[in-house]
Amino acid sequence: YQRRVHGIFLMLALVSRAAARVPKHIRLSGVRGASNAIESLPSRVSELISSRSRLKTPNDLAKQVQVQQKKTVHAARNAIKKKIIRHIPAPIVTMAVAEKFDWESLVPHVRSKYYNSRDMVQDTDGNDYNVLYFTVEPQQDSPGIFLFEEGCASSWGLPAEICESVVSEFSDHRVNPLSPDLVRYTNEFWDFAHHDGGSVVKTEEGTRNDIFMVDHRLPLPERVADQLAFSWALTRGVRVNIIDCELQETIDQLEEMSSDMTVALTKDRKEFQLLMHRLTLLSRKLHFASLCESPDLYWDDGRREGIFRAALQSCEVRRRVEGLDSRMHEATRTVEWLLQEQEIAFSQRAVSYGHVLELYIIILIAAEIVLNGWFHVYPG
């Protein structure tokens, strides 16, 4: 009796299994498809019996299905995890904290405290370009930070809070540090992701946001070198932000001083000369820093120069430099005009003072003549 029951259950399980293996377009094609599927069941049942002769009971079949489901779920999870690691965007935080770093004291400090530090590519003369790369964890492929001698830092894969915390440890190695508010308002925040199509700049679908794509197939040193090309362009964007903030502060001060011309013409000439000096310094920062030119490092590396220029275009550095140059030129013309008007007003006041002095002299001469005539008529 038990053997017959087990045989019946085994037959039903095999029939249902064979029916499930019938193609979907046959099962859904109506009565004719159903009759064809029924006619094909005996052959499929015999096929299953021959291929799965080791199954003794329906419980064995159920266990086999559960094992297959677990394998499928595990493979799907691994695929999703791999996709997340490669394609989910991670942050790039770039900031400027000083006019420059004291490089000789900074490099030993970084190498003694952090991991995997190395100088970036050297030129033919053997001189460093003064860019240092290091990681905050011992793993070679862990998130890293670039330090630039011109007072900038760029982190890859680290939150902004951690990047600011690490860079704040270098406060003793800063030359002419920037104010915390200026650092906070001039940071550049971007995203990057790994893919297999070369290191390029791509625009996210449905948006105008650019994302930096790093080729995951490259060896780690080559991948870090590509990241440096992106970061170098971002430091140029940060420098433009700093000049923009300083120029806007100068223009606000100029507008406040020139809001009332009567008051402006009576101000000390040194105040306008100080504004002119600040505008001259900003103009030197804007033009002498070569913000729109590629670093010498990429003169013989066309691929990374292309990465640098694509990132520079995403930051709109050239357009913003042209806009800053125009605003700076107008501000300089305004200060020069105010200085000229103040000089004219001063000369007019000098002329008026001369006229008053001449009048005083005439009055004194007239008084002397009258007194001399009086004493001549009445000598006693």
Q: Tens of pLDDT along 221-240? A: 999 999 999 999 999 999 99
* pLDDT single digits (tens) 332-375: 998 888 888 877 766 666 556 666 777 778 888 888 888 877 77
Q: What is the mean pLDDT of the chain?
A: 78
Contacts of 96 (CB under 8 A, 6+ apart): 150, 151, 152, 153, 178, 183, 186, 235, 238, 239, 242
* Range with the poorest average pLDDT among 66-80, 245-259, 278-292: 66-80
pLDDT of residue 40: 56
Nearest alpha-carbon partner for 232 in 168, 173, 290, 161: 290
Residue 91 has pLDDT above 70, yes or no: yes
**Does 97 or 203 have the greater pLDDT score?**
97
Residue bearing tokens 């590629």: 294
Q: Are 86 and 195 in contact (CB under 8 A)?
A: yes
How large is the average pLDDT for residues 38-62? 53
pLDDT of residue 112: 92
Is the pTM higher than 0.75? The answer reads no
- Three-state SS string across the chain, please? CHHHHHHHHHHHHHHHHHHHCCCHHHHCCCHHHHHHHHHCHHHHHHHHHHHCCCCCCHHHHHHHHHHHHHHHHHHHHHHHHHHHHHHCCEEEEEEECEEEECHHHHHHHHHHHCEEEEECCCCCCCCCCCEEEEECCCCCCCCEEEEECCCEEEEECCCHHHHHHHHHCCHHHEEEECCHHHHHHCCEEEEEEEECCCCEEEECCCCCCEEEEEECCCCHHHHHHHHHHHHHHHHHHHHHHHHHHHHHHHHHHHHHHCCCHHHHCCCCHHHHHHHHHHHHHHHHHHHHCCCCCCCHHHCCCHHHHHHHHHHHHHCCHHHHHHHHHHHHHHHHHHHHHHHHHHHHHHHHHHHHHHHHHHHHHHHHHHHHHHHHHHHHHCCC
Size (the chain), residues: 380
Rg over CA atoms, the chain: 40
- Residue 303 CA to residue 32 CA, distance in Å, equals 63
pLDDT of residue 236: 94
Q: Is 186 exposed, middle or buried (0-12, 13-18, 19+ CB in 10 A)?
A: buried
pLDDT of residue 77: 45
Q: Tell me the pairing of strands 210-215 and 115-119.
A: unpaired
pLDDT band at 166 (very low <50, low <70, confident <90, very high): very high
Contacts of 166 (CB under 8 A, 6+ apart): 136, 145, 153, 155, 158
**Does 5 or 239 have the greater pLDDT score?**
239
How large is the average pLDDT for residues 207-232? 88
